[in-house]
Structure 1
């Protein structure tokens, strides 16, 4: 008897392409973070109100959501390969950033921010999806490393604006646009097509010897049972899959809402409970730094523990830290803990989703788009709640949302358990 081993999975990324992908995530992290520190210059140059100046980031996020959904549709239909998606996204991001730097008026600036957001969404979608299936059991670890580089960019972007001054933001955006172009040369190291079975769990089937050993009656009964299972079980599977996807989306929207909520309201809360403006700003920077550090730290942990266990601990730790943030003396340290615990949720959830719903092709795109929507909605929604309850209630409000994340995680663990 000849025994043949299964062929190895083809490699999706060359080493150079992995490095280029991490650099790409540094760039999208920096792009998202460049708008806020540049607002004073926007307002002076174009004569904008604070709310009008804030539309720059909103246009970027709207473009990001559109980019995720557009490139997912093109990619899913088989019309566009991985290299073209990533290459087009880098070019759109470069053109949008350059256009934003050179825009003669605010409407033109918003249009180019939307264009840059389209490229941002394509890179976010494309690389997260490929990393989720491209490294086997190491995918969770690699996704955390990839998304940690997003945090590096988010830290470096504002630091760069601070170093040159917000009045020179056009030069920073132009430099950012040029930095995208060398990454196009590394796309040759990305596999253009990924096999459909990549990252999915193989299904067991009856062997020909087992089938031939069955009697005609047993065979007919088996076929009837299979048809019945396909009809009824398929309906149950469809309902179950819809519920799983809905809860995954809720988890992503809620946890990104917490991420944006802490980043946006931590300085105000700390100043309200007695900290100076400088200390509050420093503590917020530490929060973002801890989010980046947390993703690097969890990479080796992800090789030993399941995504479910990591996300459960993350949600529980995040909830405890937010409750501790209600104590003024502990608040800065507690917020740093929130950054550490929230860090793994986004990248660790994608491989889990890929395993739980391997046939739901658009699941990854939906939750990535949902995460961006969570960032957009979090500001106004949390602002309304704070108007009603007061600034001091910020950590309590966020801890309630974090508890919902924990409940969603526990439900998903029970619902996606292998039958």
Structure 2
């Protein structure tokens, strides 16, 4: 009681200084931070399970490559719906209820996907699991963005690094159990999700909102809309690349002459490098701007995808793609918060739009496979990556303003 009242008396005199340390205990307890990271491990597992399961799904349900890719697309459609739904509910109902509902929907959907007797029901189940996925993805990213002040960029990279840990485990689990036993893996995933409901007491039901923006002129409003549109483009395309590599790397490597086990292991390596990249960027984010980090990431990602078209280099090139793509999603969010005055709504829109890239990746790459063969996939993805680089350079030039640490804290 004494510490709390003292902290309240100390907060007003220096608005920029105490916000960051006070935000952490106000939003999360330490066990809740750990549980949030575990939650991101689980959503990483779920997203990464669909790709390695494609061969078994095609055999069981008699699917074409593009039809099998719809499983991951249904997951992302549900993710978009989950982000938009829970953005509407954010601030109206408690954070615990939002996250708890998301975990339940994800577990129920995963179990239903495992037990589905036909492909339409399996797609419906993937959609339901995706709604929960979207709620967790949006909810925890939003809470971390407002709960850690000037450390948000580093903490968001750490949070999203745990997504990569799960994405490593997903293909490894399928590879160990065998693709034909994917139902067992999905059921185990559903059961593992449920204990996280017990950790939600450590999450505050009410969180601070970003500082209200100053009144903007019509010209500035139009400029900000353009910035937001390009951010949306960047997120749509880079998540399309992320999902495309994760979903179709095994098929491409098998076509290039690698064994199924080697292809699954290499896919795990891709997700491993994504995880490593995010942990590496956490300290770098305190020294380099988001613009610099994302520009280097897009350039390296483009070069790596071009190298992936060369069969002997393909597994290593895909691993490099994981390393370079890693920081884009979490590092871009604080940049967006500083560039757009309506930071919370803009963040929800960008996260939802990023999932649209995952929606399009499955069937689009499936069509490329049917028309041009698997070998065309890395070249297509490299062209998309070059577009990401162009978008980043435009955003860097357009949003270039003197930014002080205090400004950063206020924007977040």
Unaligned runs of 5+ in 1: 204-229
Is residue 83 from structure 1 mapped to residue 96 from structure 2 by the alignment?
yes
Partner SS, residue 23 of structure 2 = coil
Is residue 187 from structure 1 mapped to residue 176 from structure 2 by the alignment?
no
Match of 1:173 in 2: 186
Partner Cα distance (2:36, 2:83) in 1: 17
Partner Cα distance (2:335, 2:221) in 1: 18
Match of 1:49 in 2: 63
Partner SS, residue 10 of structure 1 = helix
* Distance verdict in 2 for CA 1:274–1:30, change over 3 Å: closer
Match of 1:5 in 2: 14
Shift in Å at residue 105 of structure 1?
A: 4.7
Match of 1:244 in 2: 227
Aligned residue among 112, 136, 146 for 2:159: 146
**Could you list the per-position Cα deviations for residues 281-300 of structure 1 after superposition, in whole angstroms to 9, with x for gaps in the alignment?**
54333222211211122112
* Distance verdict in 2 for CA 1:49–1:100, change over 3 Å: same
Match of 2:33 in 1: 18
Partner Cα distance (1:160, 1:389) in 2: 31
Match of 1:290 in 2: 273
Partner Cα distance (2:149, 2:289) in 1: 13
Partner Cα distance (2:380, 2:202) in 1: 46
Kept in 2: contact 1:133–1:351 (CA 8 A): no
Shift in Å at residue 125 of structure 1?
A: 0.8
Partner Cα distance (1:37, 1:320) in 2: 25
Match of 1:135 in 2: 148
Partner Cα distance (1:155, 1:394) in 2: 22
Partner Cα distance (1:383, 1:104) in 2: 23
Unaligned runs of 5+ in 2: 1-9, 403-412
Query: Which of 91-100 and 119-128 deviates more?
Result: 91-100
Partner SS, residue 217 of structure 2 = helix
Shift in Å at residue 16 of structure 1?
A: 0.8
Is residue 406 from structure 1 mapped to residue 401 from structure 2 by the alignment?
no
Query: Which of 52-61 and 123-132 deviates more?
Result: 52-61
Match of 1:307 in 2: 290
* Distance verdict in 2 for CA 1:254–1:105, change over 3 Å: closer
Is residue 114 from structure 1 mapped to residue 123 from structure 2 by the alignment?
no
Aligned residue among 338, 341, 344 for 1:361: 344
**Could you list the per-position Cα deviations for residues 69-112 of structure 1 after superposition, in whole angstroms to 9, with x for gaps in the alignment?**
1111122xx32222211111111112222333344554443333
Is residue 157 from structure 1 mapped to residue 167 from structure 2 by the alignment?
no
Aligned residue among 82, 89, 102 for 1:67: 82
Match of 2:237 in 1: 254
Partner Cα distance (1:143, 1:253) in 2: 19
* Distance verdict in 2 for CA 1:170–1:269, change over 3 Å: closer
Partner Cα distance (1:93, 1:110) in 2: 14
**Could you list the per-position Cα deviations for residues 39-74 of structure 1 after superposition, in whole angstroms to 9, with x for gaps in the alignment?**
5555666x4434555443332222111111111112
Match of 1:372 in 2: 355
Partner Cα distance (2:213, 2:352) in 1: 28
**Could you list the per-position Cα deviations for residues 234-285 of structure 1 after superposition, in whole angstroms to 9, with x for gaps in the alignment?**
2012101110110001111111222233334445555666656655554333
Aligned residues: 385
Match of 1:124 in 2: 137
Kept in 1: contact 2:23–2:146 (CA 8 A): no
Match of 2:73 in 1: 58
Partner Cα distance (1:103, 1:62) in 2: 19
* Distance verdict in 2 for CA 1:143–1:105, change over 3 Å: same
Kept in 2: contact 1:42–1:53 (CA 8 A): yes
Partner Cα distance (1:56, 1:27) in 2: 18
Q: TM-score, normalised by structure 1?
A: 0.82
Query: Which of 109-118 and 244-253 deviates more?
Result: 109-118
Q: TM-score, normalised by structure 2?
A: 0.83
* Distance verdict in 2 for CA 1:283–1:52, change over 3 Å: closer
**Could you list the per-position Cα deviations for residues 154-173 of structure 1 after superposition, in whole angstroms to 9, with x for gaps in the alignment?**
22123223333445444433
Is residue 342 from structure 1 mapped to residue 356 from structure 2 by the alignment?
no
Shift in Å at residue 124 of structure 1?
A: 0.7
